[in-house]
């Protein structure tokens, strides 16, 4: 009996640190598994971002890489706000976000609602709808540039055949009135499938009995959409809209390929302004200041969005 009791106590004594170790490993394992990814993120994002912010306070000419960096404090930020082209780029970027995000969202919502209905060959429509999103943006932008080419593009040719002779050499992308609206239209075309697929997933997660109940209660189509679909879609919509806003501020490719911000800066966004300052004009400090302002602005919007809107959703 005594020997048995002592064996138990030894086992208990031995199992206590073992338990602690097991608990510790259980607690630490998730962190260990996350460590490589988090390290990479810190290295590639955080360190690069901090370095980018640092660059916004120094003078660095790309063509004189061997020269020392001179600390200039807030000079680049003052320069930016006194540059009319920068102010124009800010206006264009805000307009871009105000048009492209709601435009893509509404277009995407419309497509999602159509695809949510019972139609034949639904898979085919879904595939076709996704095509603009699946095509690489550079390829799509080059294709659209060709479509709008003055004189030899299909649009000018089509208008010419309709008898609108004045339009034969309409330089769409070289026109300060049309350049930005056209590129915004292309971007709406491009982003709508993303919104559509995400919203479709949200729509399909809404239980159908809710619609049945609403119908029994006498709700018509508009009522069902307004009081059932929209509120239940809100969590998904909130996330995709935030993502859309962030993406819209960082858009570069379509404008760069189609207009490079021209003519005479009339389609210049902040990202194009950043690129022009940092690369062709070699003013890396000024370009970094634009980048830092963009990140700061988007961080504020993102935080506000998450705190206000999502909290509201959680309490609803």
Partner 1 sequence: MNTAINISRREFLRLTGAVAAGWVLTSCAPSPTPSQPVPAPTAIATTAASTSAPKGPVTLEFWQISQGPNYDKVMKQAIEEYQGAHSNVKINMSVQPQQDMDTKSRSVFTSGGPGPDLMVCGSPFALGYARMPYGFMDLTDRIQAEGLKNKIPPMAWVSSQENNKLYSVPFTALLWFLHYNKDLYQAAGISAPPETLDDLLANSKKIFDASKDRFGFLAFTTWVSWILEGMWYNDGVGLFDGAEDYVKYDTSKPITINKPQAVAALEYLKSLAETAPGGLKGNNGVKSGDADAAFAKGNLAHFYTHTIHTSQIQGYNAKMVPLKNWDLAIFPKGSKRRGTMFSPLEIGISKGSKNADAAWDFLSYLSNQVEGRIGPSVGSLPLNPTGKVDETQVGSWLLPIGRKALQGEIWPEPFLPQASAFYSALTAAVEAFFLGQKTAQQALDDAAAESKKSL
Q: Are 279 and 261 in contact (CB under 8 A)?
A: no
Smallest separation (angstroms) from partner 1 to the CB of 201: 33
Name the burial class of residue 120, with classes exposed (0-12), middle (13-18) and buried (19+) by CB atoms within 10 angstroms of its CB.
exposed
From the list 100-108, 244-252, 273-281, 288-296, the region that binds partner 1 by CB under 8 A is: 273-281
The residue among 167 and 309 lying less far from partner 1, judged by its C-beta, is 167
Distance CA 141, CA 89 (A): 20
Distance CA 116, CA 206 (A): 11
Contact string (CB under 8 A) for partner 1, positions 1-30, x = contact: ------------------------x---x-
Residue 173 tokens, joined: 């992308």
In the set 53, 150, 246, 309, which binds partner 1 (CB under 8 A)?
A: 150
Smallest separation (angstroms) from partner 1 to the CB of 279: 8
From the list 112-120, 122-130, 202-210, 282-290, the region that binds partner 1 by CB under 8 A is: 282-290
Check residue 70 for interaction with partner 1 (CB under 8 A). Answer: no
Check residue 181 for interaction with partner 1 (CB under 8 A). Answer: no
Total residues at the site for partner 1 (CB under 8 A)? 34
Residue 225 per-residue DSSP state: I
Backbone angles phi, psi at 71, to 5 degrees: -70, 125
From the list 7-15, 59-67, 216-224, 238-246, the region that binds partner 1 by CB under 8 A is: 59-67
Distance CA 254, CA 174 (A): 15
- What end-to-end distance do the CA atoms of the chain give, in Å? 63
Smallest separation (angstroms) from partner 1 to the CB of 285: 10
Distance CA 131, CA 122 (A): 15
Check residue 65 for interaction with partner 1 (CB under 8 A). Answer: yes
Which of 274, 278, 248 has the alpha carbon at shortest distance from 261? 274
Q: Tell me which residues touch partner 1 (CB under 8 A).
A: 25, 29, 32, 61-63, 65-66, 145, 149-152, 169-171, 173-176, 179, 259-260, 262-265, 276, 279-283, 286
């Amino acid at each position: 009996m005594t020997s048995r009791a002592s064996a138990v106590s030894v086992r208990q004594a031995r199992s206590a640190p073992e338990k602690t170790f097991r608990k510790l490993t259980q607690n630490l394992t998730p962190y260990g598994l996350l460590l490589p990814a988090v390290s990479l993120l810190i290295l590639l994002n955080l360190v690069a971002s901090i370095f980018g912010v640092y660059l916004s306070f120094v003078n660095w000419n790309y063509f004189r890489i061997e020269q020392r960096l001179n600390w200039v404090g807030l000079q680049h930020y003052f320069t930016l706000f006194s540059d009319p082209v920068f102010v124009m780029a800010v206006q264009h970027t805000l307009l871009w976000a105000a048009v492209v995000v709601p435009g893509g969202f509404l277009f995407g919502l419309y497509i999602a609602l159509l695809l949510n209905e019972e139609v034949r060959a639904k898979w085919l429509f879904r595939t076709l709808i996704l095509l603009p999103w699946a095509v690489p943006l550079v390829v799509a932008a080059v294709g659209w540039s060709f479509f709008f080419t003055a004189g030899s593009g299909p649009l000018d040719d089509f208008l010419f055949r309709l008898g609108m002779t004045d339009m034969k050499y309409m330089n769409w992308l070289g026109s300060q009135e049309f350049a930005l609206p056209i590129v915004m239209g292309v971007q709406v075309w491009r982003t709508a499938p993303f919104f559509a697929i995400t919203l479709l997933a949200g729509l399909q997660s809404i239980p159908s009995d809710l619609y049945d109940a609403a119908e029994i209660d006498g709700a018509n189509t508009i009522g069902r959409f307004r009081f059932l679909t929209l509120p239940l879609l809100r969590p998904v919509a909130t996330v995709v809209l935030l993502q859309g806003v962030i993406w819209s501020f960082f858009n570069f490719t379509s404008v760069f390929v189609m207009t490079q911000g021209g003519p005479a800066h009339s389609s210049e966004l902040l990202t194009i302004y950043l690129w022009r300052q940092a690369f062709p004009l070699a003013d890396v400090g000024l370009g970094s200041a634009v980048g830092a302002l963009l990140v700061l602005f988007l961080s504020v919007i993102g935080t506000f969005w998450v705190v206000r809107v999502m909290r509201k959703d959680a309490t609803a």
